[in-house]
Amino acid sequence: MKYKGLNLENVKNNNRSAILNILNNLGAMSRKDIAEKTGLTPASVTLICTELLEEGVIYELGEMVEEKRAGRKKISVDINPTYKYILCICIESNETYITITDCKGHVIKSIVSETEKSMEPEDFLVKIAGDSTKLLWEVGISKDKLLGAAVSVPGKVDRKKGISLNTFSIWTKPVPIADILKKELSINVVVENNLKASAESELLFGYGKDHDDFVILKWGPGVGSAIIMRHRIYQGSGGLAGEIGHVSLGKGGKKCNCGKTGCLETELSVKAIKEDMTAAAGNKTKEKKIMKDKLNKLAFATRNYVSLVDPSKVILIGPMFDDPEVYAGFVKAYKEYDETVPDCFFARSKVAFNASHTDPLATALNEWFFSK
């Protein structure tokens, strides 16, 4: 086990991070309230806030908030949205989104284009860099006003090295995304797997604002999940914790792209469902039976998963759950394994509909804003 030395610089950075997190979660407040909420002394809150004000990270709100006791007024501080901007790049199997946001997630401008799978990944990324430069120029944001670029991609990612190891659906070889974009754009670049980025986004902007232990379940195009434990994403020994798509349905079965056979995903991916539906040749009874079987399999796996992880809630995301009928069907199927579960144990994410920018944004903020 490695221990991070407890030196004054670390303590200061942790306190700085605590203040920024509380402002992100609860919005503008006075220094006095920050001290109360974080448990820091008023003196250190004042000191760190002065530093953050000088750097332009936070700003004082124009209006004065009257305190309950007459005669005294207090000034609120909040994260300064225009302190820096973020270039959010979300590469999905069919589309790629490029969005410029400010520090609070307001969208300045966004474009979407086709993910060109026929191009060499290096050439495609050079094109993305060119589109990004054009977009920045159009909105008049110079590179020194950028915190950096964050990229979310499907599949295996080495975040430390900024490499996409295998997206499965777009390219199957390792691609040094961070190096390519850094060379083209001359800015910081961070790369993260799309599901991990969704978990970061849920932690910063969604359910994680006031909950520490929950699970995210994503359905479509594959099946995946993330475990949030004590307000952190649980990674496991090799970063593969929560890979519910690769739990076994039993011996045999179809070969999965992870190399094993009989994984849940081989039956439940959108591609597998489409294939089964095509084989049903429009027979409505057969189609209904197929869907019921899929929902049952996912409910069964989730039921066991919940017993092991004990989350306070399961947040359902992904295009399959966007269909209200599928969502309701899943909850119904789950109840057949646990009739005591309340409906509110499952919830739709309140942020995932903006995933194309909130996911990479959350990764960027965690990388460069909330920690220093």
Binding residues (CB under 5 A) for Zn ion: these are 246, 256, 258, 260, 263
Nearest approach, Cβ of residue 253 and Zn ion (Å): 10
Helix (H) or strand (E) run with residue 209 in it: none
- DSSP letters spanning 237-265: SSS-TT-GGGSB-SSS-PBPTTS-BSBHH
3-state secondary structure (DSSP) of residue 115: coil
Q: What is the largest CA-CA distance in the chain?
A: 77
Q: Which is nearer to Zn ion, 17 or 261 (CB)?
A: 261
Nearest approach, Cβ of residue 327 and Zn ion (Å): 24
Nearest approach, Cβ of residue 114 and Zn ion (Å): 28
Q: Which is nearer to Zn ion, 117 or 260 (CB)?
A: 260
Q: Which is nearer to Zn ion, 88 or 256 (CB)?
A: 256
Residue 32 is given by DSSP the state: H
How far apart, in whole angstroms, are the C-alpha atoms of residue 29 and residue 78? 7
Nearest approach, Cβ of residue 255 and Zn ion (Å): 9
Q: Which is nearer to Zn ion, 56 or 236 (CB)?
A: 236
CA dihedral sign of residues 318, 321, 323, 326: positive
Q: Which is nearer to Zn ion, 50 or 248 (CB)?
A: 248
Q: Which is nearer to Zn ion, 81 or 253 (CB)?
A: 253
Nearest approach, Cβ of residue 260 and Zn ion (Å): 5
Nearest approach, Cβ of residue 37 and Zn ion (Å): 43
Residue 164 is given by DSSP the state: E
How far apart, in whole angstroms, are the C-alpha atoms of residue 178 and residue 77? 34
Going edge to edge, which strands form the sheet with 58-66?
Answer: 29-30, 73-79, 58-66
Region of 28 (left: φ > 0; alpha: ψ -120 to 50; beta: rest) is beta
Nearest approach, Cβ of residue 112 and Zn ion (Å): 30
Q: To the nearest 10°, the Cα dihedral for 289, 293, 294, 298?
A: 150
Q: Which is nearer to Zn ion, 152 or 266 (CB)?
A: 266
Q: Which is nearer to Zn ion, 153 or 256 (CB)?
A: 256
Nearest approach, Cβ of residue 268 and Zn ion (Å): 11
Q: Give Cα 191 to chain centroid, integer Å.
A: 12
Instruction: With beta carbons less than 8 A apart as the criterion, state whether 218 and 298 touch.
Output: no
Beta partners for 217? 225, 316
Quick one: tokens of 64? 């004065």
